[in-house]
Structure 1
Amino acid sequence: MKFITRKKLIPVLVTFLLLGIILSQIRIEDLITTIMNINKIYLILGFFLYILSYVFRGLRFHILLDKKISFPDLFHIVCVHNMVNSILPARSGELSYIYILKKYHDKSTGEGVATLMVARVLDFITISLLFFISSLFITDLPEMFSSAIWLVVLFTVLLAIFLVILLYAGEVFLRFANAVSITFKLDKNVFVIFFLKKAKEIVDSFKNIKNSGKMMELCIISFLIWLTLYFLNYTLIKSLDMNIGFFEVLLASTFVVFMSILPIQGLGGFGTYEVGWAIGFIGIGLTKELAINSGIVVHIIGIVYYVLLGLYGYQYLCKK
């Protein structure tokens, strides 16, 4: 019990520690001034772009689930899932997608895990490729980004290999797991039986995704999701009256996504989000104060967006 309590406290401590460090680097008056001077038109445009990204996410899950769940239902599931995932630490909110599918649409755990894993791998491949592409459009690339490019290329290749393994080598893994359980006489064990059952569900779901012939379509939708989100960041930068090019915004804001992968993410992403944003935007030439201020403001706007859509999606699910 004490271990569980400590485990829950770690994200909270990380959040307050990082926030304390970040806020000590700026003047609160400057932050308030930045918030007060936000251009409301760009704010509204940003919200529509955010909704559009959810539309694409819902469409991707609609295809991944072989169109067995309606697009409107999946759009509202995305609304709730993204809110929960953004609030809970260390991306533990990902489990909400699997839970909602099972509760409201009687989908197996395996189907939920498989579709979510494919979506996330496609996300990170897309992000890495866009990061690399944006670097080609920027002259005088900062040294820190130049060093990161080859790591991103390697990361993309490894993810692509991982995706192929997920889609094509699942049955090999399942046969191996069954052979091991029989060899060590564990095939009657309740926990092993449960594990093998769930593993088969996941493998069958991967097989369905592979046989659907929709991978190219899923890749295109993944690119549309992230292009929309990067245009959202660009729009919010414009709302703060900051003159930064689109590819610079894409390159710099990708560091927020890379930070979100780390298991240290705190509640609501506070701290880690601002650190990732500051690293990226200081790297393209912003002052430390401006980078931190803009990161905090954009993060707050994002929270407002996903909470509004999350509550809307929750209301929809409650009526089902």
Structure 2
Amino acid sequence: MKRKLLATLIGITITIILVSLLLSQIQMDDIVSTLTTINTLYILFGFILYIIINFFRTLRFYILLDRKIAIRNLFNIVCVHNMVNNILPARTGELSYIYLLKKHYNTKIGDGIATLFVARIFDFIAIFLMFFIAFILTKDLPILVTKVVWYIVFLFIICIVLLVGLLFFGKSVLKLAIIFSNKMGLKETRIVKYLLGKGRETMESFEEIKSKKLIFSLLLCSILIIGFSYLLIYIILYGMNIFLPFQKVLLGSTFLLLSTVLPIYGIGGFGTTEGFWALVFVPLGLTLETAIISGFSYHIIILIYLLVTGGYGLLIIYLSHKQTS
């Protein structure tokens, strides 16, 4: 409980500091003006794209869970999961997916962890592929940006290798953990027994997923998820009359996606999202003022999408649970 409280306090502090610094560079009226002048068609088209993204996220989990949960039911969980995950700091909302599966469909915690882990591996692979393509296609990048991009490419490769290695050699890692806990005399403690038990469940789920040869369908779903996510950012920017080339939007959006996994991610992403947005899009051609205003405007629009779909998901889950209880 203390750790959760500490994480929340840190998130709130980071959010207040960053938002205050960013807002000091612009006028609040500019954000309001930007939001009120965007053509409604772009907002609606963006919302349709967001629904499509959630559908493919749902389809990917549907495949990973061996089609045991109906897509319409899983869609509600995905909507709630995305809402919670983007509001809580440091991606702690990932646990909501595991919790909802366990509570409403009696899915093993190990299955939830395994499917979520595999989904994130394919997200990384899809982001890396599209990021590298955008980097190759984007010309006349500042030297500093080019250097940073190569560092990011290197980091991507390391992360993918580690994640895939854990997926395929997870049993060996679990055996080492068991040996270590035995030598340290920790195996019989409640927390270690619980963690090792969930580790076994997760490894069993990994083995089941690997045996079904789902790589192509999972990769296709992941590429569509990431591709539509980039298109969504491009459409919202276009609605703000910001006409960056698509490859630059793709390149910049990758850094934005990476920022969400950092432990400094603020409450609701406020401050951190806009800060990274400015750091990325200013070198790619926007003025600092335009970058900050568009960052806040985009973020508010996405939060509206999250709250609408997440609220819908929560309502349907509640009503379904009420009918069955």
What TM-score bracket applies, with the shorter chain setting the length?
over 0.9
1:223 aligns to 2:223 (yes or no) = yes
**CA separation of 1:178/1:29 partners in 2, compared to 1, >3 Å: closer, same or farther?**
closer
Conserved 8 A contact 2:89-2:269: yes
Conserved 8 A contact 1:110-1:205: yes
1:303 Cα offset (Å): 0.5
1:12 Cα offset (Å): 0.6
Greater Cα shift, 241-250 or 141-150: 141-150
Following the alignment from structure 1 to structure 2, what is the Cα–Cα distance between the partners of residues 192 and 253?
A: 39
**CA separation of 1:79/1:29 partners in 2, compared to 1, >3 Å: closer, same or farther?**
same
Conserved 8 A contact 1:278-1:288: yes
Following the alignment from structure 1 to structure 2, what is the Cα–Cα distance between the partners of residues 88 and 186?
A: 32
Q: Let me know the Cα RMSD of the aligned residues.
A: 1.7
Greater Cα shift, 192-201 or 217-226: 192-201
Following the alignment from structure 2 to structure 1, what is the Cα–Cα distance between the partners of residues 258 and 178?
A: 36
Q: Deviations over 1:69-122 (max 9, x none)?
A: 111111111100000111111111111001001001111111111111111122
**CA separation of 1:186/1:25 partners in 2, compared to 1, >3 Å: closer, same or farther?**
closer
Q: Which residue of 1 is the match for residue 312 of structure 2?
A: 312
Following the alignment from structure 2 to structure 1, what is the Cα–Cα distance between the partners of residues 30 and 176?
A: 60
1:280 Cα offset (Å): 1.4
Q: Which residue of 1 is the match for residue 247 of structure 2?
A: 247
Q: Which residue of 1 is the match for residue 146 of structure 2?
A: 146
1:21 aligns to 2:21 (yes or no) = yes
- 3-state SS of paired residue (1:261): coil
Conserved 8 A contact 2:121-2:164: no
Aligned pairs for 1:1-320 (under 5 A) are: 5-320=5-320
1:186 Cα offset (Å): 4.4
**CA separation of 1:3/1:260 partners in 2, compared to 1, >3 Å: closer, same or farther?**
closer
Following the alignment from structure 1 to structure 2, what is the Cα–Cα distance between the partners of residues 129 and 211?
A: 25
1:183 Cα offset (Å): 4.3
Q: Show structure 1 runs of 5+ residues with no match.
A: none
Q: Deviations over 1:166-222 (max 9, x none)?
A: 222122223333334444554444333222211100100111111110012111110
1:238 Cα offset (Å): 1.1
Q: Deviations over 1:276-296 (max 9, x none)?
A: 111111011111111111111
**CA separation of 1:7/1:89 partners in 2, compared to 1, >3 Å: closer, same or farther?**
closer
Conserved 8 A contact 1:253-1:276: no
Following the alignment from structure 1 to structure 2, what is the Cα–Cα distance between the partners of residues 184 and 42?
A: 59
Identical counterparts, % of pairs: 43
Q: Show structure 2 runs of 5+ residues with no match.
A: 321-325
1:248 Cα offset (Å): 1.2
Conserved 8 A contact 1:255-1:279: no
Conserved 8 A contact 1:135-1:141: no
- Give aligned pairs, total: 320
- 3-state SS of paired residue (1:158): helix
**CA separation of 1:172/1:90 partners in 2, compared to 1, >3 Å: closer, same or farther?**
same
Q: Which amino acid aligns with 1:162?
A: L
TM-score (norm 1): 0.95
